[in-house]
Amino acid sequence: MTTDRGTGMRVLHGAWDGDALAVWGEGRPARSGGRDSASPPHPFALVPRALRDLLAAPLEGESLRVAPLELLLPGTPDAPEHSARASAHPAAFHSWSVPALRLAPAAAERLLSALEGRAEVAGAAVGPSLGHLCAVRGFAELLVRSDCVLPGLAGGRARWRPAPLDPVREHLAALTAALPASARAHLPGRSPGEAGRVCVLEPLELLTDAVARRLAPPRSGTAAEGSGPALAAALSTGGPPPDPGTVERLRGPLRDWRSRVRGQGRAALLFLLREPDRNGPWTVEFWVRSSAEPGLRLPLEQVWLGEGAAWLPSDVGATALSDLRRAARHHPLLRRCLRDLAPSRLLLGTEDAQRFVSEAAPGLSAAGFSVVLPEWHGRSSLGLRMDAQEPPARRRGGVGPSDLVDVSFEVLLRGGEEGAEPLTEEELAELAELARLKRSLVRVRGRWMEMDPDRVAAALEMVVRHGARRMRTEEALRTAVGAAGTAPLPVEEVRASGPLGALLGGGAESSLRPLETPPGFGAVLRPYQERGASWLRFLGELGLGAVLADDMGLGKTVQLLALLADERRDGPAPGPTLLVCPVSLVGNWRREAERFAPGLRVHVQHGPERPQGNDLARLVGACDLVVTTYGVVARDSAELAGLPWHRVVCDEAQALKNHGTRQARAVRSLPARTRIALTGTPVENNLGELWSVMDFANPGLLGTAAAFEQAVAGESGPDTARVRRMTGPFVLRRLKTDRSIIADLPEKVEMRTWCTLTPEQASLYKAVVEEMTERLREADEKEKKGLVLATMSRLKQICNHPAQFLGDGSALAGRSGKLDRLESILGEAAAEGDKALCFTQYARFGDRLAPYLRSRLGVPVLWLHGGTPRADREEMTRRFQEMAGPAVFLLSLKAAGTGLNLTAANHVVHVDRWWNPAVENQATDRAFRIGQRRDVQVRKMVCVGTVEERVDEMIERKSVLADGAVATGEEWLAGLSVEDLREVVRLSPEAVAG
């Protein structure tokens, strides 16, 4: 590559400035001369003659105009940085002037076309800004060649413009996101959104017109010939501009045309595939449907017969033919129909129908067409029935994961009138031949279905040739639950004997050996607790892990302690159990073990003085239960992994939900014969968290996280039936609201407490919304969503109190409708002699709220947050539970939402909302749990007419997965459109008191 003395390589840059492309370069010091701009000349800018020489070949014959271009570039006051050596984080920016060649859109399109895909031209490098404009031009040509352009009028001139389709907008957003900094150097102070409009949208509009004119055949036309020919002539090369009268007549129809393309009032083409009754041809029928009301549709055949409908526009026939011509580019067989005057259907053989389903339908859908396939599309009509029989001679107590079981399979045809039925040998042989021929559309027992030939061939090989064989129990379980990679077809039915059959058949809990309350145990187990402890023992005897996901407050701690005590009832005790929990629960586990199972030898492995090395090994060998924290495991994982654990238990196992974190990896590295996860919320945000907890309990059972999510994916969300089938044998979930589980728990009464804003709050609220609205005008789509979500957080603080939002330490009294209402609620509870829990997600607000409530209510107000030491935390809990008379316990939601037993309270107030039902319910369950003797009143404070009310409504409408086993987190808000988010933050008139 040619270089210039003292300045390094030559680089060409481009900036779209107004209606022209400005090309400038750097490399050779500019000649000294007079200034014609406000900024000093760029010392390394290429002079005009050098620019012309570099671009002589691609711009041969063009008249090139030179004009100065003002740039803001990184560097020092003496010289800008050369782009080839620019630092990632420049210290400062300064203004410079460069000579630039200005190219009209046609010449710019010609140059960018010549430079596309090239790293250099005439020995000079093509810079990122010029390369980006090459990509914009390439997209313009793609639009033209795909007929994604429409005629338009701008300033009295006819111009080709990009069609307003969703794929165009998505590609525009991607081009804007990829905009290099050098492309915006001539736009100092402009927002990213404004820069995107100038540097992407404007050049795309002009380059699209230039490409369309270059590719269009020349034609002539005048206004005298009518508006249509005049417009066509003006849009082609060399045509005169339309006269003002023609412009005025065309403006309305062209606007309507663009609206129809957007989908307003347009009839769109739809393709519907119909299967033959027997061996006749397949039929692709052409229909038209309303874009505004997709449920309104009509066969195109009826349109040709004049049997239209009121919702059809007058140009429906022309639009359908135009769509059909465009669709033929994605599926060439449609060209046959274009020979007909009134095309209405396409006839296909079975092989062509296969290609339509597998290739054409996805391509047409991606191009914006609607395609309707038979209901069997995307569904597996074939499955497997698995028979697993344990060997006759097995040891007492069950089978281990390495023991062998006899397994055989049958192929089932699903979805018939009689349910799933096994196929005959003749049908299997026919399917094998069709699979060999790579046929994916097949007819079995009088109905068509879709199959994957390779998977069916593998299944038939497994069933017919291998027959019955022996598998390890672990492998049989993975196959039975449908883990990825274990069977070529989904296992729909399992028939098994013994404990394995009870587990896979869903009857384990009802067929367990009863585990009664162990001798000397400090409580009488409730029936559901006996069943839970028995279930843990049952899976442990099989060498399998368990997820005990009982609702908060149902006594997961008691069930585990009962299991440990029962194991030591007769005979030698098994090895030690390591229990890992959050630091806030260490004291709770120690006290509960002393209370319920005083015979257990317990050691707490925590704190700077905790034993290590041989001292720890000797101590563990003499213990039944070792309690430690996630933090200790993360730090001491190598040492703990070398000890002989019989069982590893994780309490609050949602701490493992992020599979790749250091603490999750450390916990999984601990070897043990069995594992147990204890959690009241197996999932807070997504199914990946459920997989992570399951992967701790039974490593590898569900395959990889990606394979699990793919296996349970449904058309409109996770397939809950599939999730239960894969995880159900290993997850025990009981809810407090189920009266068949626990009938003597008091009622939980949940209610909204409506609050209004004070005038000061309303004024601040409106100002924040107006500021957001103003900034949205200049933001791109990605920035808009982040801006609105950040605004929502600010508005929540205003709803709490102006002083929290302002952060100025100003007085609290009389300025917040919510605080006044909170004070009233707590005052009434105190007057009745009751205790109350108050949750807030803002620790700094709690720092001010605690002393304020203490002075106003005249009762003890305790304040627990993330910075509270463990000893103080335990003392506060004890004091609140034991003190006589009314009291308030103010708690930080994230720090105290789990692990505390605060049944002395019968009032729970959520001062501000976390907007995550799972987290709020966990917090409520600090009071609503076993040991609670009174009805619990739960109040969720909501400011009417604000973001709080609208998000509360969304939460009420939002469904949860798997009957409450899977809840959704606050992340769902990020999935709302910008328009929906704007509506969420709007302030209603009823929000303000008075």
Tell me if 797 is assigned to some domain: yes
**What confidence score (pLDDT) does residue 870 get?**
82
**What confidence score (pLDDT) does residue 966 get?**
36
Kindly tell me if the per-residue pLDDT of 709 is higher than 70.
yes
- Percent of the chain scoring above 90 in pLDDT: 20
| pLDDT tier for residue 453 given thresholds of 50, 70 and 90 | confident
Q: Alpha-carbon distance 530 to 520, whole Å?
A: 15
**What confidence score (pLDDT) does residue 9 get?**
73
Tell me if 27 is assigned to some domain: yes
| pLDDT tier for residue 345 given thresholds of 50, 70 and 90 | very high
DSSP assignment, residue 517?
P
* 453 lies in the same domain as 414: yes
Q: Alpha-carbon distance 217 to 206, whole Å?
A: 19
| pLDDT tier for residue 186 given thresholds of 50, 70 and 90 | confident
Q: Alpha-carbon distance 115 to 117, whole Å?
A: 6
Q: CB–CB of 205/172 below 8 Å?
A: no
Q: CB–CB of 188/69 below 8 Å?
A: no
**What confidence score (pLDDT) does residue 625 get?**
95
Tell me if 416 is assigned to some domain: yes
Kindly tell me if the per-residue pLDDT of 395 is higher than 50.
no
pLDDT, tens digit, 9 for 90 and up, residues 352-373:
999 999 889 988 887 778 899 9
Average pLDDT score, the chain: 79
Structure tokens at 78: 């003496």
Show which of 706, 732, 758 is a domain's final residue. 732
Residue 839: how many other CB atoms lie within 10 Å: 26
Kindly tell me if the per-residue pLDDT of 639 is higher than 60.
yes
769-803 burial string, b = 16+ CB within 10 Å, else e?
beebeebbebbbbebbbebbbebbebbbbbbbbbb
Structure tokens at 600: 């257990």
* 710 lies in the same domain as 763: no
Kindly tell me if the per-residue pLDDT of 221 is higher than 60.
no
Strand 404-416 versus strand 469-472 pairing type: antiparallel
Q: Does residue 636 sit in helix, strand or coil?
A: helix
Out of 209-218, 714-723, 841-850, 910-919, which region has the weakest mean confidence (pLDDT)? 714-723
Tell me if 243 is assigned to some domain: yes
* 277 lies in the same domain as 395: no
Tell me if 737 is assigned to some domain: no
Closest CA to 96 of 185, 169, 189: 185
* 172 lies in the same domain as 134: yes
| pLDDT tier for residue 861 given thresholds of 50, 70 and 90 | very high
* 802 lies in the same domain as 838: yes
Where is mean pLDDT largest: 89-93, 101-105, 718-722?
Answer: 101-105
- Residue 861, domain extent: 748-991
**What confidence score (pLDDT) does residue 559 get?**
94
Kindly tell me if the per-residue pLDDT of 607 is higher than 90.
no
Tell me if 207 is assigned to some domain: yes
Out of 75-89, 112-126, 859-873, 956-970, which region has the weakest mean confidence (pLDDT)? 956-970
How far the first Cα of the chain sits from its last, in Å, is 76
Helix (H) or strand (E) holding 416: strand 404-416
**What confidence score (pLDDT) does residue 264 get?**
45
Average pLDDT over residues 592-607: 90
Q: CB–CB of 906/938 below 8 Å?
A: no
* 663 lies in the same domain as 571: yes
* 328 lies in the same domain as 427: no
Q: Is pLDDT larger for residue 178 or for residue 238?
A: 178
pLDDT, tens digit, 9 for 90 and up, residues 293-342:
666 788 898 888 877 666 677 778 888 888 898 888 888 899 989 888 88
Show which of 330, 345, 372 is a domain's final residue. 372
* 100 lies in the same domain as 157: yes
| pLDDT tier for residue 618 given thresholds of 50, 70 and 90 | very high
Q: What is the pTM of this model?
A: 0.51
Report the domain count for the chain.
Answer: 6
Kindly tell me if the per-residue pLDDT of 716 is higher than 90.
no
Average pLDDT over residues 610-616: 92
Tell me if 64 is assigned to some domain: yes
Q: Is pLDDT larger for residue 624 or for residue 721?
A: 624
Residue 290: how many other CB atoms lie within 10 Å: 19
Burial of 639 per CB tally in 10 Å (0-12, 13-18, 19+):
middle
Tell me if 446 is assigned to some domain: yes
Structure tokens at 414: 């699903």
**What confidence score (pLDDT) does residue 563 get?**
94
pLDDT, tens digit, 9 for 90 and up, residues 4-28:
333 447 899 999 988 899 999 998 5
Q: What is the CATH number of the domain that holds 795?
A: 3.40.50.300
Where is mean pLDDT largest: 142-151, 179-188, 471-480?
Answer: 179-188
**What confidence score (pLDDT) does residue 696 get?**
92
Q: Alpha-carbon distance 215 to 141, whole Å?
A: 9
* 119 lies in the same domain as 203: yes
Strand 282-290 versus strand 267-274 pairing type: antiparallel
Residues found in the chain:
994
Name beta bridge partners: 571: none
**What confidence score (pLDDT) does residue 579 get?**
96
Which residue type is seen at 936?
V
* 692 lies in the same domain as 798: no
Q: Alpha-carbon distance 875 to 871, whole Å?
A: 6
Helix axes 105-115, 202-215, angle to 10 degrees: 90
Name beta bridge partners: 581: 629
Angle at 419 between CA 388 and CA 960, to 5 degrees: 85
Q: Alpha-carbon distance 588 to 583, whole Å?
A: 10
Q: Alpha-carbon distance 813 to 819, whole Å?
A: 8
Average pLDDT over residues 856-882: 89
Show which of 680, 697, 732 is a domain's final residue. 732
**What confidence score (pLDDT) does residue 376 get?**
82
| pLDDT tier for residue 685 given thresholds of 50, 70 and 90 | low
Kindly tell me if the per-residue pLDDT of 933 is higher than 50.
yes
Report CA-CA distances (Å) from 120 to 2, 17, 45, 382.
10, 23, 17, 57
* 612 lies in the same domain as 720: yes
Average pLDDT over residues 391-402: 54
* 712 lies in the same domain as 786: no
